[in-house]
Structure 1
Amino acid sequence: MWKEIGHRESGKLRPNSFINRIRSNRSSSLQLSNHKEIVSSHRGSINSLQVDLTEGRYLLSGASDASLAIYDIQRATEYEAGGLIAKHKPILVDKQHQNGHKYAISTAIWYPVDTGLFVTGSYDHHIKVWDTNTTQVVMDFKMPGKVYRTAMSSLATSHMLIAAATEDVQVRLCDMASGAFAHTLSGHRDGVMAVEWSNSSEWILMTGGCDGAIRFWDIRRAGCFSVLDQSHSQLGRRPPLADPSTTKVSTPKARAPHRKVGSGSSSKHSGNSKILKHAKGSANKRLHPGLLTSQDRATAHYGAVLGLKATEDGMYLLSAGSDSRLRLWDIQSGCNTLVHYEIVRLQSSKAIQLAVTQDSGIVFLPCMTSVKAFDVWSGKNRMTLQGHYENVNCCCYSTHDQELYTGGNDRQILIWSPHKLISDDVDNCDRRTEQPSAVDEDNWSD
């Protein structure tokens, strides 16, 4: 770290590059936190975790005992061991609410705009919208089957849609503005376990089903416009955009005289015919996949798609399947990038929640009782995080603190923090009293 600070002082590193490098170093040194602990209030396996997108302060969790909880991860409830261990107890707990869920909560997400609302989905076939301040259900959607995952677009300015992945073959979009279903997306041949909005467009939705297919939808149009095929591959990352300042400008060449043809017309007509042929060819490429049987039945995994996660730049998509494979897809071309990730054993009976760092350099994948961190671009296993006693179901990465939160069947929420450079014993402020420590006091302090 001191090397990066020296380069920043000397001007070798720009501010943005310095920040990105520090964040990358912190995310690469995660370990089980010994100074921060979450006191779980759940009595069942934890199936979903999410930190709010506005403040990065509140952690929302949902469990199989139909309970949900909210934790303040920035301000501790109490301290132990002389102020060295911060305890974070839930500031909101809901169990057996009269209008709450009856069965396991499978997904819990924040409303992207603020923390005043959050959304939960359950195996009781219901999706509920909650008011955080009153802990009351303000909206209820009845689904045709078990709800596996829900998602809302963080970019949306024109709609308030909740995408729902259920055991039904159709994907439904719930409109919070009207309280009714807005769309029904048909195309999967089995239940849908994963759903993810694009990070580059508020209209693009990506879904993964038990039929092994990953489909792309433009919700403004009918039908999906792309189906990923694992055999359609392209090695490596997308080449970077060319720098306009370094591109060569071609010099105009002397025009060749037009040759006359038998009808008396010039060769310009042949150029126009080429353009028409190219337009017809591009039109054929834009055919709806449903009209082409081979494309419509393409599969991304040899089993159910258990989880989807888009990179922060919106250019790539990570998918995990019950075939023990993790794949990286180029969203623009729909190609499998052929990054070789280690074959891992994954749960096949329930959806899993992946996490990606802010620079999209590391992906965290729940693998039974551990969490594996892979380099997104090389596929190398960076680290294996072991701390849970039972299977891990969900991962959530906090971009504010570069911390990872994991939940599993052991009913625990573990915090994985970067390596601390400065000891907690030497601190400028006593955490319990929030006053300067006696070591730092002087005779002229007010």
Structure 2
Amino acid sequence: MNQLLLERATGAAGPNVFARLQTTRLLTTFQPAPQYRFDGGERGVAVHDGDASSADTASSIWAHQAGVSALALERFDGRILVSGGSDASIKLWNLEQCGNPSNPYTFKPVGAVRASAQSHKFGITHLSFYPFDSAAFISTSYDQTLKLWSTDEARLSASFSLGSKIYTHAISPVASHLLVACGTQHPAVRLVDLRSGSSIQSLTGHGGAILATAWSPRHEHVLATGSVDGTVRIWDIRRAGALIGMLDHEDSLGLYCNGLLGEDGKVRMRASAKAHTAPVNSLTWTDDGSYIVSAGHDNRIRVWDAATGRNTLASFGPSIRNSQLASVTMFTSPVGLTHPGRELLFWPNETEILVCDLHDGHIITRLRGTGAAVAGVRGSSKKSERSVKNRISSIVWRGAGGGGGSSGVVMGGTNMSGAVFSAHMDGQIRAWTPQLEGTDEDTDDEGTNLEGAEEKVRKRKALNDVYKSLMGQKITFT
């Protein structure tokens, strides 16, 4: 770090290069932040290996006691986090409640959707915020409904019944239209118009349930969808038929997803093209729209060139785990935070979070410490006792100064900037923050290690003297 600061001070490294080098380093140093807790107000006792650990107060705090199934973070200033539970409950959290991020803090909900005739009946499957205003958010559930809520009042604004279990939904971050693409148990992708309040279009072609949907962040009418039949289809909703291509894992040249029309007027593609050999349950785009990332039950993550549809052949190795028949959220680091071609992928790997190089696939770090592999809760009555495999159900990114991240901004400021939040089926919401230099204190049994501190001061003074002698030397031209 001292070398980097010296290069920045002498002009050897420009401000953009300095910011990218620093943020790249921070992106690889995420650590668990157990000092941040989310208390949803439900009471009970955590059970580990059949024993109730009532002595540990922290083990009896849950965001959603029944398990957290979905998360969403508003993209403007990253202030409001909304969580959905397996018991159909929804809670809102204000991340700015924490005044000093260096101190432990327990967040309390600032709003909640209680059980009522208007709320969801079954577990929440997906959450997202209104793309241009954090005053509204959207939820979908196994109860076959999509609901629009007011953020400030946690009040229902609109409800849509689609007649099939809804696994996921997506709304474009750049479009002027307000179409919500819904992936359901039905093999047709349903488009719901929030303006008219109706399902205006169905995109047919998949051979099974739709588990993943993602709009292009560059082209407002382009949508990618993944199905249990292993296919990923690319649609342009303005066109008749809508389909413009299919991703093919055997195509490393981009031959079948180029959107070109043949002599018969149809899109040229191989009919048997498949992105994965098993159900596809996760899709995302890089925020510049250059690449599509897909994941499936074949334990493979694939990266595709969005312009040509070619498989980039990035290999993420045998460590990938993906077995849940539900939509999985993943995200890439914002373009501009790292050097071009060095973006990172954050993947919820069942019981850990993998941070991987997006383009060559190698694992940079593993974020562990997500609690017991099997979580149990014992409530006030015997009927409320449950045991569940503790997996990560959702992850969200809180960039510096906002939920979407800001290009060229150094992470690690105040108010938990640059944090990752994960939802767990043991009922917890956990935080992960980058490790900043100088936060680890060198202490011994008797207090501060003064000898180590003096050594650091001596080294910094020597470096400062060298810098001043170089910059202060007079140069005479003859």
Please state how far the C-alpha of 1:421 moved relative to its aligned partner.
2.4
Residue of structure 2 equivalent to 1:76 = 98
Q: Which amino acid aligns with 1:412?
A: Q
Please state how far the C-alpha of 1:85 moved relative to its aligned partner.
0.7
* CA-based RMSD: 2.3
352-361 vs 380-389, greater mean Cα deviation = 352-361
Residue of structure 1 equivalent to 2:381 = none
Please state how far the C-alpha of 1:234 moved relative to its aligned partner.
4.3
Residue 424 (structure 2) aligned to one of 391, 405, 408: 408
| Structure 1 SS opposite 2:348 | strand
Distance 1:399 1:288, change over 3 A: farther
Deviations 1:25-74 (A, max 9, x none): 21110010144333343122222212111111111111211011111223
Aligned ranges 1:237-256 → 2 under 5 Å: none
Q: Which amino acid aligns with 1:288?
A: K
What is the distance in 2 between the residues matched to 1:32 and 1:285? 57
| Structure 2 SS opposite 1:336 | coil
Deviations 1:382-401 (A, max 9, x none): 11112223111111121222
Which segments of 5 or more consecutive residues in structure 2 lack a partner in the other structure? 40-61, 336-341, 373-389, 401-416, 442-478
Distance 1:295 1:152, change over 3 A: same
Please state how far the C-alpha of 1:330 moved relative to its aligned partner.
0.7
Residue of structure 1 equivalent to 2:208 = 190
Residue of structure 1 equivalent to 2:301 = 326
Distance 1:104 1:283, change over 3 A: closer
Please state how far the C-alpha of 1:95 moved relative to its aligned partner.
2.7
CA contact (8 A) 1:38 1:89 kept: yes
Residue of structure 1 equivalent to 2:157 = 138
Residue 311 (structure 1) aligned to one of 279, 283, 286: 286
Q: Give the alignment's TM-score, normalised by structure 2.
A: 0.74
CA contact (8 A) 1:32 1:417 kept: yes
CA contact (8 A) 2:299 2:322 kept: yes
Please state how far the C-alpha of 1:78 moved relative to its aligned partner.
9.7
Residue 48 (structure 1) aligned to one of 50, 60, 70: 70
Please state how far the C-alpha of 1:283 moved relative to its aligned partner.
4.4
| Structure 2 SS opposite 1:201 | coil
Residue of structure 2 equivalent to 1:288 = 266
What is the distance in 2 between the residues matched to 1:5 and 1:219? 50
Residue of structure 1 equivalent to 2:365 = 383
CA contact (8 A) 1:328 1:337 kept: yes
Residue of structure 1 equivalent to 2:30 = 30
Aligned ranges 1:224-263 → 2 under 5 Å: 224-234=243-253
Aligned ranges 1:292-371 → 2 under 5 Å: 295-343=270-318, 344-359=320-335, 361-371=343-353
Residue of structure 2 equivalent to 1:98 = 117
Residue of structure 1 equivalent to 2:21 = 21
Please state how far the C-alpha of 1:227 moved relative to its aligned partner.
0.5
CA contact (8 A) 2:36 2:430 kept: no
What is the distance in 2 between the residues matched to 1:287 and 1:340? 36
| Structure 1 SS opposite 2:262 | helix
What is the distance in 2 between the residues matched to 1:313 and 1:365? 19
Please state how far the C-alpha of 1:19 moved relative to its aligned partner.
2.3
Residue of structure 1 equivalent to 2:450 = none
Q: Which amino acid aligns with 1:386?
A: R
What is the distance in 2 between the residues matched to 1:41 and 1:282? 49
2:105 equivalent to 1:86: yes
Deviations 1:271-324 (A, max 9, x none): xxxxxxxxxx964289434xx6x6233110011001011112210011110011
CA contact (8 A) 2:113 2:155 kept: no
Which segments of 5 or more consecutive residues in structure 1 lack a partner in the other structure? 236-280, 426-446
**Structure of larger gyration radius:** 1
What is the distance in 1 between the residues matched to 2:122 and 2:165? 10
Aligned-pair identity in percent equals: 29
Distance 1:353 1:9, change over 3 A: same
Residue of structure 2 equivalent to 1:173 = 191
Residue of structure 2 equivalent to 1:421 = 437
What is the distance in 2 between the residues matched to 1:50 and 1:18? 31
What is the distance in 2 between the residues matched to 1:286 and 1:9? 63
2:399 equivalent to 1:399: yes
What is the distance in 2 between the residues matched to 1:286 and 1:329? 27
41-50 vs 107-116, greater mean Cα deviation = 41-50
CA contact (8 A) 1:357 1:399 kept: no
Residue of structure 1 equivalent to 2:455 = none
CA contact (8 A) 2:221 2:237 kept: yes
Q: Give the alignment's TM-score, normalised by structure 1.
A: 0.79
